[in-house]
Chain A
Amino acid sequence: MSAILSVSQLNRYLSFKFKEDKNLRRILIKGEISNFTNHNRTGHFYFSIKDESSMIGAVMFQNFASRVSFLPKNGMKVIISADVNVYEKSGNYQLYVTEMQPDGIGEAYLRLEQLKEKLLLEGLFDNSYKKKLPAYPEKIAIVTSLDAAALQDMLRIISERYEALEVEIYHCLVQGENAVKSTVSAIKLADNSDSDAIIVGRGGGSFEDLSAFNSEEIARAIFAAKTPIISAVGHETDTSISDYVADFRAETPSAAAVAVVPDMKTVLQKLDDMSFTLQKLCGEKISDFDRFVKSYELKLSKFSIENRLKNIREKLSHDEKRLNSLYQNKITINKALVLQKIELLDSLSPLKVLERGFSLAYKDGKIVNSASKLKTGDRIEIAFSDDKVSAEII
């Protein structure tokens, strides 16, 4: 005997079982709508889907319900895409609807959904295969009909945004029985044209008009291309298989034109910014070098010849002044000494004695200091204070 479960535990377990079953994911069901309630406040749809003998509850939450392009009514035959899950609170299983189409186009819609599923499983829609669009394309290809008004719109927008571009138009039939073949061959040609990106698309139209872009052949041609491809089919609300498989989905051909080229003004602004940065960086570097050189010049100038000469000159001039002053001092001192000596000499001078009445006798230029040194007949000179006279000894 197994353990006793609570109701919540049982419902959670059932919910888990439902979620685990892949056969209950993304299933397509056709039937008639009944008990339809459009919950005004939340925008959710609550209804049932029934056939002759059976019925199942369904809920379509606001985020999905808002994408339904018609207003569902009781009695309307529809095809829906949904998961089956358990609503644990009441223990009901019900459909959680993600897409709804009227059953009028039933067959085609069903085929489309099946193809979408097949390509999805094959990985054709995987993000890992998506190529990046070039930021600055130089050549692009547009695969569309020459008659399409969408082509004129695209060319006008491109020429307004960015002129540095070569555009090659690969004409193809975008509707009718030859559309698929024609478009596939144009995609292949465009892919071999060395273009940086390809826009594949057409303007709006009915489900049938757009059907070529839901074909497997075009999907595979887009997937096989080595050039990044922008898919631009119909209006915002139309989503084709081309959109899923392309590297970039543009909601409209005009949006594709905006996505494929940059805006010239922005590019010029970017170039100006780069130019400013270049000037600024180089200016800063050169000022750094200048400062560096100047600092060395300053250091070097201390050792320059001019500076050394200047130093020597200054030293010489200083020494000269010093010498001068020493010399002057010496002279003054010496002068005083000499004067002193002169005075002394003066006081001792024999002339002073002569002035007092004494006289000096010279013989042969020598002073005669004794009478014994003279004999009769010697010629002598007698010096007085004012003059000399000659005399003879008798």
Chain B
Amino acid sequence: MKFEEKLKKINEILLKLENSEVSLEETVELYKEGSLLLADCKNEIEKAELIVSVKGENLE
């Protein structure tokens, strides 16, 4: 899943928790899912290193 999609998913989870009547089981599931996604996102941008490469056919 792309970073942006993960953030979108987390936002959906927060909205669900905020607005709708969710069961205890669902709350626990949503919490697990949200925490994992957040940790994933954080890890992704903290650990990542900029990769630079030169492409194309104009190299003369």
Contacts and interface: CB of A to CB of B under 8 A. Distances in A.
Nearest to B7: A136
A291 B57 CA distance: 68
A164 B46 CA distance: 8
Nearest to B18: A281
Contacts of A295: none
B50 A135 contact: no
A135 B45 contact: no
Interface in A131-155: 134-136, 138, 141, 146, 155
Given A171-B59, A278-B34, A285-B17, A146 B54 contact: yes
Given A271-B38, A278-B13, A282-B31, A169 B4 contact: no
Contacts of B44: 164
Nearest to A284: B17
Interface stretch (A58-66, A185-193, A333-341): A185-193
B8 to A, nearest CB: 10
A168 interface: yes
A170 B14 contact: no
B45 A274 contact: no
Interface string B1-35: 01110010011011001100010100110110011
Nearest to B30: A282
B38 A282 contact: no
Contacts of B18: 281
Contact of B3 (A136, A274, A277, A278): A136
Interface centre among A135, A164, A169, A172 (most CB of B within 10 A): A164
B10 A189 contact: no
Given A136-B4, A167-B51, A268 B38 contact: no
B17 to A, nearest CB: 4
A165 interface: yes
Contact of B58 (A168, A170, A270): A170
B45 A172 contact: no
A274 B27 contact: no
What is the interface residue range for chain A against chain B? 35 or more
A286 B59 CA distance: 61
B58 A163 contact: no
Given A163-B45, A163-B48, A278 B17 contact: yes
Contacts of A173: 58
A129 interface: no
B27 to A, nearest CB: 5
Interface residues of B, number: 36
B48 to A, nearest CB: 4
A176 B24 CA distance: 68
Given A164-B44, A278-B38, A286-B27, A193 B55 contact: yes
A60 B53 CA distance: 49
A346 interface: no
A205 B58 CA distance: 22
B58 A274 contact: no
A185 B57 contact: yes
Contacts of A277: 14
A186 B59 CA distance: 11
Contacts of B14: 274, 277-278, 281
B45 A268 contact: yes
Contacts of A159: 50
A271 B53 CA distance: 29
A282 B58 contact: no
Contacts of A158: 50
Nearest to B52: A167
B4 to A, nearest CB: 5
A108 interface: no
Contacts of B42: 268, 271
A190 B54 CA distance: 11
Interface of A: 134-136, 138, 141, 146, 155, 158-159, 162-173, 182, 185-186, 189-190, 193, 264, 267-268, 270-271, 274-275, 277-278, 281-282, 285-286, 289
- Nearest 8 Cβ contacts at the A-B interface: A164-B48, A281-B17, A170-B56, A282-B31, A164-B45, A166-B51, A136-B4, A285-B27
